[in-house]
């Protein structure tokens, strides 16, 4: 716990944003603990996540990285046995506050899942799902959203003539970009990505990675990955999770070149995990 706290403050001091203005944080995580029944999955997590950057979360299987990213939009609440303590502040609002609406949080914070999960509907219907649940009915507006979202997810040129076709006809990589487009259609502030490329082939993976680089101009992105090269390629900051704790959190180049913690070094160099 102390180690992670130290690293955290250190990260703030050393940190020099690569954008012109100083980075505000979108998320502040304070002493977060999470249990599945009796098993503690997250222990005293303390993190600050800067805006308009890519923050990667790495760590071996079962270290709590997927659980952590799902607490950021309170999706862990779908599992009845989950208990949490501590606080998560999204833009200085306590997301666990009784008065804070979870639907609002999830509108501002989009999520892309490990396996592409388009709805069994047409490509068009998939994209307009979000806007429709938020009350947009104007066909013209919806058409524009579909085009801009698909362009934003670098899928427009591939599917613009097939918008009425079922989304299941797309390849795995296209389906995942469709899921990203579906998120963008809600105009979120943050994008959570839970191992978005682990079910994809290398070429599709490359496309998603390029897309992430593109998206960070407008969105703050938090990406869970078990692919360390990927974290190195695309992220600005990296948090290394182990057994439910944050071992080290720093700028990605620092983590990959001279990590402070021996365990981080061992993991990065492939000695375990």
Q: For binding to other proteins (CB under 8 A), which residues are involved?
A: 73, 75, 78, 80, 103-107, 110-111, 113, 115, 117-120, 129-130, 133-134, 168, 179, 182-183, 186
CB of 181 to other proteins, least distance (A): 12
CB of 82 to other proteins, least distance (A): 12
CB of 103 to other proteins, least distance (A): 5
> Tokens 């952590």 appear where?
68
> Tokens 């046995």 appear where?
81
CA nearest 192: which of 14, 66, 44, 43?
A: 66
212 close to 183: Cβ distance less than 8 angstroms: no
CA nearest 258: which of 241, 272, 238?
A: 238
- Which lies closer to other proteins via its Cβ, residue 111 or residue 242? 111
CB of 65 to other proteins, least distance (A): 17
With 0-12 / 13-18 / 19 or more C-beta atoms within 10 angstroms meaning exposed / middle / buried, residue 16 is: exposed
For 163, phi and psi rounded to 5 degrees? -60, -25
């Amino acid at each position: 716990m102390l180690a992670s706290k130290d690293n955290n403050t250190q990260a703030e001091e050393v940190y020099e944003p690569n954008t012109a203005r100083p980075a505000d944080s979108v998320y502040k995580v304070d002493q977060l603990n999470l249990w599945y029944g009796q098993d503690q999955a997250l222990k005293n997590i303390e993190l600050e996540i800067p805006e308009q950057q890519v923050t990667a979360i790495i760590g071996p299987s079962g270290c709590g990285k997927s659980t952590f990213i799902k607490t950021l939009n309170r999706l862990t609440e779908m599992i009845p046995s989950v208990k949490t303590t501590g606080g998560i502040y999204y833009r200085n609002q306590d997301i666990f506050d009784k008065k804070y609406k979870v639907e609002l949080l999830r509108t501002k914070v989009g999520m892309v899942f490990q396996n592409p999960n388009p709805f069994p509907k047409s490509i068009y219907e998939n994209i307009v799902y979000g806007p429709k649940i938020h009350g947009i009915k104007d066909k013209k507006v919806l058409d524009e959203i579909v085009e801009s979202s698909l362009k934003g997810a670098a899928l427009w040129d591939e599917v613009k003539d097939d918008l009425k076709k079922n989304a299941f006809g797309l390849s795995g990589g296209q389906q995942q970009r469709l899921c990203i487009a579906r998120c963008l259609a809600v105009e979120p502030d943050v994008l959570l990505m839970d191992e978005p490329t682990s079910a994809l082939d290398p070429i599709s993976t490359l496309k998603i990675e390029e897309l992430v680089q593109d998206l960070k101009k407008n969105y703050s992105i938090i990406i869970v990955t078990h692919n360390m090269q990927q974290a190195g390629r695309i992220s600005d900051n990296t948090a290394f999770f182990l057994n439910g704790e944050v071992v080290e959190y720093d700028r990605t180049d620092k983590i990959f070149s001279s990590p402070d913690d021996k365990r981080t070094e061992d993991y990065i160099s492939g000695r375990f995990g």
